[in-house]
Amino acid sequence: MYENILELIGHTPMVKIKSLNSNKNVKVYAKLEGGNPGGSIKDRIALKMISQAEKEGKLNKKRTIIEPTSGNTGIALAMIGAIKGYKVEIIMSEAVSEERRKMIKAFGARIILTSADKGTDGAIMKARETVKKYPKKYFMPDQFSNEYNKIAHYETTAKEIWDDMNGKIDYFVSSIGTAGTIMGVGKYLKKFNPKIKIVCAYP
């Protein structure tokens, strides 16, 4: 029995990939982060950043959580805000899919759209301008510079991967956005086995 869906974040399954792997001499495993309640790995960092801000007294119910995002972190923060009782405003490019917008709105968060031609950078600038103008009203986790982004992965994702694989890892491959996943997981794995190679897949 769980108190709320936040307790379901993490401990996602590790699955052996067979049909998509053409090299029979190589074993490939995937950590299914889509199994998190918000549907992505971003649930981990959102929960860590918010929990840490609460501990440090930077966030209380009088302040609104605001964050620029291309989607998944926004969904995660909206979900966490709904559970914890915070108002949430998500700033994103109007190029973001309608599906992601609907998920964010479903959790009760407000969405502010910025010009598509400025991409996520435009959303970041808008968020920072808003916080600068109303510093007492808003709290911005800022996933792009928040150290608890990579710490979340160091403490949870990486440990789960190491335990799931019983330490039998030659390569760790990760895509990169904020770089929190690859930095946090990479640091943890290298601590236990410096020979593990960390591979970044850049979009």
> Where does residue 139 rank: exposed (0-12), middle (13-18), buried (19+ CB within 10 A)?
buried
Written as six digits, the tokens of 75 are 């969904």
Find out whether 36 and 51 touch, Cβ atoms under 8 Å.
no
CA angle 94/116/144 to nearest 5° reads 85
Q: Closest Cα to residue 14, out of 172, 135, 143, 191?
A: 172
Q: Does the active-site annotation cover 31?
A: no
Find out whether 131 and 138 touch, Cβ atoms under 8 Å.
yes
CA angle 61/66/70 to nearest 5° reads 145
Query: Which of 16, 27, 42, 190 does the annotation list as catalytic?
Result: 42
Q: Which residues are catalytic?
A: 42
